[in-house]
Structure 1
Amino acid sequence: MTFIELLALLAIAMVCGSLGQQLVGYSAGGCLISLVVGAFGAYLGLWMANHFGLPVLLPINFGGREFPVLWSILGSALFSIALGLVNAAIRPRRRR
């Protein structure tokens, strides 16, 4: 895998992470956090798809590697839900 292919995959992971966060309505941060959420969402979504025997939908191939776009977005949404719940549990509520 070349450096350009790696950058393209990271950009796709960032977009998928942003879309997943927008689906949920919770954003943990900026571009770097979206990249992490998208990459982790890809692993989470692909693991769930393999676990339940679902096909890989909307794959993008770069350098012989396959990036599951749909499962990355769904995994990012699930990961964003988990981040939002953890953040709500840790952060105390303010009273007005």
Structure 2
Amino acid sequence: MSLIEIGILLLTAAICGGIGQSLVGYTTGGCLASIVVGIIGAYLGLWIARELGLPVFFELNVGGQPFPIIWSIIGSTIFAGILGLFRRATVGRDRY
């Protein structure tokens, strides 16, 4: 896999992670956080799809590596929602 292909996969993960974060309203962390949320969301979304026996929709193949766009957005939304719940639970508490 070339450097350009890795860059395309990271850009796709960032876009999917950003969409997932915006659907939930969790906007902390910037571009790097969107990439991480997108990659974790892809794994989470694929795991959910396999466990429920659902098909993979709209898959992007870059360098022989499939990247599930729809399941990445769904997984990113779930992961960002969980992160948002943890963030809300700690905001407002005294940190003494």
- 1:25 maps to 25
The residue correspondences of 1:44-63 to structure 2 (distance < 5 A) are: 44-63=44-63
- Gap runs ≥5 in structure 1: none
The corresponding residue for 2:3 is: 3
Q: Percent identity?
A: 53
Structure 1 stretches of at least 4 aligned residues deviating more than 3 Å after TM superposition: none
For residues 59 and 36 of structure 2, what CA distance do their matches in structure 1 show?
19
Pairs aligned (count):
94
Shift of residue 48, structure 1, vs aligned partner: 0.4
Q: Judge which range, 11-20 or 22-31, deviates more.
A: 22-31
Structure 2 unaligned spans of 5+? none
> Is the Cα–Cα contact under 8 Å of residues 28 and 83 in structure 1 kept in the other structure?
no
Quote the RMSD (CA, aligned, Å). Answer: 1.2
Q: Which residue of 2 aligns with 1:73?
A: 73
Q: What residue identity is the alignment partner of 2:31?
A: C
**SS of equivalent to 1:72:** helix
SS at match of 2:60: strand
- Aligned partners of 1:37, 1:28: CA distance in 2, in Å? 11
1:93 to partner: Cα distance = 5.6
Conservation of the 8 A alpha-carbon contact between 1:28 and 1:80 = no
Instruction: Quote the Cα distance in structure 2 between the aligned partners of 1:78 and 1:28.
Output: 15
Shift of 1:28: 2.2
Taking structure 2 as the reference length, what is the TM-score of the superposition? Answer: 0.93
TM-score, normalization by structure 1: 0.93
Deviation at 1:70, TM superposition (A): 0.2
